[in-house]
Structure 1
Amino acid sequence: MFFYSPNFMIFFIILLIPYLLLRKQRVWLLAAANAIFYVAHPEGFLVLFFVMAFLTFGIVHTMQLSRFRWLFWIGIVLNVLNLAFFKYTLFVLGNLDMLGLHLPRADDWAASIVLPLGISFYTFEFISYLIDVRRGDSKPTRSFVKFWVFVSMFPHLIAGPIMRGDELFPQLDELSKKRITWSDIRYGVYLFAIGMVKKIVIADQLSPIVKELFDKGSALTSTESWMAAYTFSFYIYNDFSAYTDMAIGLGIMMGVRFADNFNSPYLSANPSEFWRRWHMTLSRWIRDYIYIGLGGNRKGQLRLYANLLIAMLISGLWHGAMWTFVIWGGIHGLLQVIHRLSFELNRFRWVAVLRDSVVYRIVAIFVFFHIVTWTWVFFHAPSLSMAWDMTVKMLRVHAADLIRHPTFPLIVGLFAVHVVEYVLRKNEGRFGRIWHFVPFPLRSAAYALITFTLIYYLQGGKYEFIYFQF
């Protein structure tokens, strides 16, 4: 039941009408709707999800007793093992085979393992909740229904944003008193429409181009390797950020605000800024529960660099059980280390002045965008050998060949749209006020054009959100 499907639209309208009318029953309505939404997907392992929620909830409350504080570690291990079994069993067995340690009949049952929908996201929420309660950063809710809604709320369940207890529980506690205004509905629809455009008009149209290019494998030329990387860069951003926009829009229509997850990441000038703009809720999760948990920057420079590498390697492995993802995470870890080392240059005044200049920022954005684009090759290539082959070819490319390629104007246009999105979102309030001065017939015509455009593109092929697989 994808957000853009007619079935979902009907499901949401049927939910929203009683949700707006019956304030005191909102949490219960959400609890039921979350279960229906999850089980409507073929990979929705509702019983497993519910059992893990029940166990985590029970452990959180039992570990409040001093003699049962050790149950915290049981909760962490249970959640990690649950994720590891479904996500990494085949990866481990494959690597054992490479080492000549083949387990009899293991492949037969391992091949039947299906990754439960959203398991990576809800596991991270379970773990963060356990840690936050143990640290005293979050108070455990006494209501299992509210806990279930916290971890299973359908707009962000499958692909984030990754929420924390202290962000969502206060909102759930006030939900029965929350007055949802017409302005909330309009703004939610506006964000949902932006997500629909990014998903259907941009991402879904890029998907076959990306597939056609990567399917060429070793036959890719140097120029085509860059085009494959460029198109995938904009495909994954528009696909994933579309889900976030739609999720946040749905939440606002129900009186709940989810955390932002993207802020025009391809306008970043360095690795640290990129991870403050890309998948922001995952970045802060990795920072707060892995990087800081390992010691962060409190135990010397060498330990800091090691912690950065470990955190990004885990981030890569979280995305997928393949060495390509691990290498992708490792590259981003190295980029973080190199960026940190470059701070030493700031002791030279001219370097600090240069880094503060507009020209430097423009050049840095241009260079770093191409570095990030190259790293996506390891994220999407089906094998390390293909990723390495593409990397070698990309190093040999001539700029003139890139500019002459028929796909290059599309790439320039997509980057321009990325810049426009940044400007519009940064000045949302101002543009909103200007928009209301536009005569009503013209606004109506614009709304109709957007609606008919979406209907037109919905008639074509449909593709899943890419982050569903993670």
Structure 2
Amino acid sequence: MFADPQAYLLVLLVSVALYWIIPSSLPKLRAFVLIIISAVFLFTVSPLALLALGVITLTAIITLRLTLQKGSARIAWLGVLAIVVEFFIFQYYNARSANIVVTFLVVYGMSYVAFRSIAAMLDWKLYKRRPERAPSALDFTLLNTFFPIVPSGPIEKLDRLRVSALGRKAEPGLIGYGVLRLFVGLFMVGFVGDRIILANLTPMQEIYYGEGAGVSILGTWWFCILSLLYLYANFSGFMSIAIGSGALFNLKISENFNWPFMSTNIQDFWKRWHVTLGEFANRYMYFPMLKVFKGNPYISIFITFVLVGVWHAINMQFLLWGVFHGIALALYAFLSRKIFSPDMGAGSVRLVRAFGWLATMLFVCWAWTFAASPTIEGSWRMTGRLFGLG
């Protein structure tokens, strides 16, 4: 977390101590303390990331207020466009940075800030009907600056992390659970991810993404599996740290992984992997796309995941990753009604699910090689080796 686990834990402990010194009857003061600590911590890591966070948050605050005053969806969508443009401008200015932590914060960390802001803006009709639920500027700022969820998400819902949530009294069970999840996350990232998987993965990368003389099909598949497991160990570990950290403040942060490697189809996978991204894409991208494409679910699914791919990074690797997932999800949506029928026996259902699990895992591993490859040429070489073509 933020490159230095010890620094992160020190900031977390200081924050928790100050937070609980303040009475629960003063939630705004608690919010100010968390915002200030988070901003200072983020500034020490990347002033550019803090600037991006401030610009995106301010845009969202102004846009939502204008949208509620005028009652115009057009203003909300103009705000969305403004945030997208701002996000890519900050990516452009960060492109020359050699610091991988700063790049991670500006590219991925700020994407979560942007997603959270966009979600709140597009929910303006809900706040129009219920003005008392409309977020204040302090709510918005707390949502976007709360440091445990800045670098890796999740795309937290506003109702889970607003100032009023800081007024609850301590729940010892939740705090104890937070300590457990914090240590599980540190174990996943530091031991499973870095010491076990990465130690074996690093010497293989140049071989399998390079010329790869003498590599076997099974060896190539094993490399791809290790790459995906490393991503999972780190990403789910970061999520566990965020959830555990939030619980220490008596906050229930959303789960982002739900046993994704038990998925029996690609649709099920995206309900289990990066759950909050799937929910965001479904609500704020897919359904608007349905209106644009006159109810055609397949084109809407495809375009949604192409956009999800490009949002990760503007390069051919992530574009193709999004294209492949978009095709797979659209194809499954089309075929699922034909594959499963009411008169199928239990044995047939189990067989289809077993095949679906295997096909899903192999597809996810293969598609990830495009996102993980440093070059598009390396991705295609990897594909050839996976299927015995090179």
TM-score range relative to shorter protein: 0.7 to 0.9
| 1:158 maps to 2:151 | yes
State how far apart, in whole Å, the 2-side matches of 1:231 and 1:312 are. Answer: 24
Greater mean deviation of Cα atoms: 309-318 or 51-60: 51-60
Q: 1:237 to 1:385 in 2, by over 3 A?
A: same
Q: 1:280 to 1:297 in 2, by over 3 A?
A: farther
Q: 1:162 to 1:276 in 2, by over 3 A?
A: same
Note if contact 1:317-1:329 (Cα within 8 Å) is conserved in structure 2. Answer: yes
Partner of 1:8: 8
Partner of 2:387: 395
Partner of 1:448: none
Partner of 2:220: 225
Partner of 2:254: 259
- 1:102-131: CA deviation from partner (whole Å, max 9, x where unpaired): xxxxxxx97479755311110111111110
Deviation, structure 1 residue 37: 2.1
Q: 1:292 to 1:67 in 2, by over 3 A?
A: closer
| 1:129 maps to 2:129 | no
Q: 1:355 to 1:28 in 2, by over 3 A?
A: farther
Letter in 1 for 2:124: V
Q: 1:9 to 1:344 in 2, by over 3 A?
A: closer
State how far apart, in whole Å, the 2-side matches of 1:138 and 1:161 are. Answer: 26
Note if contact 1:34-1:149 (Cα within 8 Å) is conserved in structure 2. Answer: no
| 1:290 maps to 2:294 | no
State how far apart, in whole Å, the 2-side matches of 1:323 and 1:364 are. Answer: 28
Partner of 2:17: 17
| 1:175 maps to 2:184 | no
| 1:327 maps to 2:317 | no
Greater mean deviation of Cα atoms: 256-265 or 56-65: 56-65
Greater mean deviation of Cα atoms: 381-390 or 360-369: 360-369
Q: 1:4 to 1:296 in 2, by over 3 A?
A: farther
Of 340, 360, 367, the match for 2:333: 340
Partner of 2:201: 210
Letter in 2 for 1:32: I
Deviation, structure 1 residue 61: 1.2
Structure 1 unaligned blocks of 5 or more: 91-108, 398-470
SS at match of 1:63: helix
Note if contact 1:4-1:196 (Cα within 8 Å) is conserved in structure 2. Answer: no
| 1:367 maps to 2:359 | yes
SS at match of 2:257: coil
Counterpart mapping for 1:73-222 below 5 A? 73-87=77-91, 89=92, 111=96, 115=103, 117=106, 118-134=109-125, 136=127, 141=134, 143-169=136-162, 172-176=163-167, 178-205=168-195, 206-216=197-207, 217-219=210-212, 221=215, 222=217
State how far apart, in whole Å, the 2-side matches of 1:345 and 1:68 are. Answer: 42
Equivalenced residue count is 372
State how far apart, in whole Å, the 1-side matches of 2:297 and 2:311 are. Answer: 21
Partner of 1:57: 61
Deviation, structure 1 residue 317: 0.8
Note if contact 2:182-2:245 (Cα within 8 Å) is conserved in structure 1. Answer: yes
Deviation, structure 1 residue 31: 1.3
Q: 1:189 to 1:230 in 2, by over 3 A?
A: same
Letter in 2 for 1:121: Y
Greater mean deviation of Cα atoms: 274-283 or 40-49: 40-49
Note if contact 1:180-1:255 (Cα within 8 Å) is conserved in structure 2. Answer: yes
State how far apart, in whole Å, the 2-side matches of 1:126 and 1:70 are. Answer: 16
Note if contact 1:314-1:329 (Cα within 8 Å) is conserved in structure 2. Answer: yes
Aligned CA-pair RMSD: 2.7
State how far apart, in whole Å, the 1-side matches of 2:130 and 2:309 are. Answer: 28
Note if contact 1:199-1:238 (Cα within 8 Å) is conserved in structure 2. Answer: yes
| 1:304 maps to 2:308 | no
Note if contact 2:142-2:161 (Cα within 8 Å) is conserved in structure 1. Answer: no
Note if contact 1:195-1:246 (Cα within 8 Å) is conserved in structure 2. Answer: yes
Report percent identity of matched pairs: 22
SS at match of 2:211: helix
State how far apart, in whole Å, the 2-side matches of 1:270 and 1:73 are. Answer: 33
Partner of 1:273: 268
Of 304, 311, 316, the match for 1:318: 311
SS at match of 1:218: coil
Structure 2 unaligned blocks of 5 or more: none
Greater mean deviation of Cα atoms: 18-27 or 64-73: 64-73
Partner of 1:379: 371
Letter in 2 for 1:223: L
Letter in 1 for 2:314: A
Partner of 1:249: 244
Partner of 1:95: none
Of 231, 234, 257, the match for 2:229: 234
Deviation, structure 1 residue 43: 5.7
Note if contact 2:59-2:83 (Cα within 8 Å) is conserved in structure 1. Answer: no
State how far apart, in whole Å, the 2-side matches of 1:72 and 1:317 are. Answer: 22
Letter in 1 for 2:169: R
